[in-house]
Structure 1
């Protein structure tokens, strides 16, 4: 892993020549803290059911035209977004495990909300960062073979993809860069409070980002992984890119809080993030498919209801999605 190819580029306000960093963020937890969480005898890890099937399954149309957008939740942080005649996948993972090896690591607890064979032709893939639950080489290779889509990703992740499969058409961009996708659709990569790694020795050697999609149906803020911090990341997106029609916000993988607070939001944080970014509507994801942390499988959905009630926000404004569920605007 120490010989992995990594990004090589000029120093910037978030790259020191070797590592990326967030000037308004927090560094990833140390290995000592990882061991303390896993073996320290603190909070007990909830047991998830072996299989928790979703009541939904989607067969998407070939295209969605006009001023509409269709959002199909595949599971965890994977989405099919159809708008402006384009088919866009976000952080696509169809693998059974999210791990560097196929025989261990977090395993699926439900099927993808769209069977791979039922996907329409994919034009663009957005990959937010290098963690295995977001950057899945097996799925990207399958997509490259079937559809040869453009793959838009933050700096350095293109190196990861191409070093594994040269057929993946990866294009890497920095924070605040805007990329025209065609048909009046564009995406801007924006800072998010997170980090990245594929192995023991490549922490923060590739960049991470959230996405703001400009579509005929309005602007869509896609946050695949983020801590909350002081909310500044979300307020800055509102200032620079608002008004936002919809936000996709993570609500899972948050316990124990002492360990996860800086990298993953809990539902209470996500409700504050919605208020900060000002989106008209939000969809909750990053829960219920892969057990990455200690909370129960249904804890994020229950906590989201409580957080919305406490903030006096209508339940229908922020919905926790299940694989195969579809929202159209």
Structure 2
């Protein structure tokens, strides 16, 4: 992106999407999404990562965007898997996850259909004419989605909170939306009167008999545009089911492994962890918000996950690494620890994982 392109509306829209929102020089005097008590991760206006790193500055963003070194992606990178047509329901202790793309994953167990961070739009962007564009189609056609009972929205970046897709799900299935503090204001403005469970770190909510959803910390941040940085909370989730525990992390920096250790201490090990391992270069800019494959493997071990469904790669170009580099780096990290490669499965759109 050259300087002339950057200052077009399209260039600014692309930065809003890829960086999660431009940093305003001065935040609004009040939080536009959430009005609640001060806590160990909320100062009365902004959420923050306790003992962690703040998001990068606007100057850092400019330094990155004009530094060069970005590896081009192909315009199209089809998945080797055909579009999936999931079962309507998976009963009992069986656990099946199907990759739609990026961080959109269908989780089926105990008769429930749970969808994470659903994005069926062509772009992860505030506008339809610019911003990161899909290089492969969703791995499940929207019409082939089974009835969705629960939608987990981990945070409000455009590659995770897509209002157009949420509106389609609301019109078709009227699911329960579960999201951290403040994101409900964004969703309600678009959807009207959806069923929303709004949760803080450490909270839990029952979503079906024998199935409990726990909201847990992750190291990230939030923004939709100018002036709303860190005004809505971000989170990971633990899904406690009759068939075992699932740890779903939408986006996170590694943060010295603190949150992985805490999840294991609180919940014990996990049958499955859904972990991001892409969108991580350059490290000086991305370290605090996106873990790399080596860190993701370390996270798998720290949280004691028997199996991992890897996501957040190969659909939207958000950062500098090449499209296949996360896979190469993941295999290298697993091999270096003498871990079987099939323990950490790098999911592609349309791929179905029947979890042992």
Interval containing the TM-score (normalised by the shorter chain): over 0.9
Task: Measure, in 1, the Cα distance between the counterparts of 2:52 and 2:213.
Answer: 23
**Structure-2 residue corresponding to 1:180:** 206
User: SS of 2:278's equivalent?
Assistant: coil
Task: Measure, in 1, the Cα distance between the counterparts of 2:260 and 2:226.
Answer: 30
**Structure-2 residue corresponding to 1:52:** 77
**Aligned 1:150-299 pairs, distance under 5 A:** 150-299=176-325
Deviation of 1:246 after TM superposition, in Å, equals 1.1
Deviation of 1:4 after TM superposition, in Å, equals 8.5
* Aligned residues of 2:31 and 2:46 also touching (Cα < 8 A): no
Task: Measure, in 1, the Cα distance between the counterparts of 2:75 and 2:103.
Answer: 20
Deviation of 1:167 after TM superposition, in Å, equals 3.7
* Aligned residues of 1:122 and 1:149 also touching (Cα < 8 A): yes
* Aligned residues of 1:25 and 1:194 also touching (Cα < 8 A): no
* Aligned residues of 1:140 and 1:168 also touching (Cα < 8 A): no
**Structure-2 residue corresponding to 1:29:** 56
**Structure-2 residue corresponding to 1:116:** 142
**Deviation string, structure 1 residues 218-242 (Cα, Å, up to 9, x no partner):** 0011111001121111000000011
User: SS of 2:270's equivalent?
Assistant: coil
**Structure-2 residue corresponding to 1:131:** 157
* Aligned residues of 2:154 and 2:250 also touching (Cα < 8 A): yes
> TM-score by structure 2 length?
0.90
Dislocated runs of 4+, deviation >6 Å: none
Task: Measure, in 1, the Cα distance between the counterparts of 2:129 and 2:209.
Answer: 42
Task: Measure, in 1, the Cα distance between the counterparts of 2:263 and 2:108.
Answer: 22
User: SS of 2:305's equivalent?
Assistant: coil
- 2:77 aligned with 1:77, yes or no? no
* Aligned residues of 1:185 and 1:214 also touching (Cα < 8 A): yes
* Consecutive unaligned residues in structure 1, runs of 5 or more: none
**Aligned 1:35-46 pairs, distance under 5 A:** 35-39=62-66, 41-42=67-68, 44-46=69-71
RMSD between superposed Cα atoms in Å: 1.3
* Aligned residues of 1:194 and 1:227 also touching (Cα < 8 A): yes
> TM-score by structure 1 length?
0.97
Task: Measure, in 1, the Cα distance between the counterparts of 2:111 and 2:312.
Answer: 26
Task: Measure, in 2, the Cα distance between the counterparts of 1:164 and 1:19.
Answer: 23
* Consecutive unaligned residues in structure 2, runs of 5 or more: 1-23
Task: Measure, in 1, the Cα distance between the counterparts of 2:139 and 2:168.
Answer: 17
User: Is the deviation greater in 309-318 or in 115-124?
Assistant: 309-318
* Aligned residues of 1:144 and 1:169 also touching (Cα < 8 A): no
**Structure-2 residue corresponding to 1:14:** 41
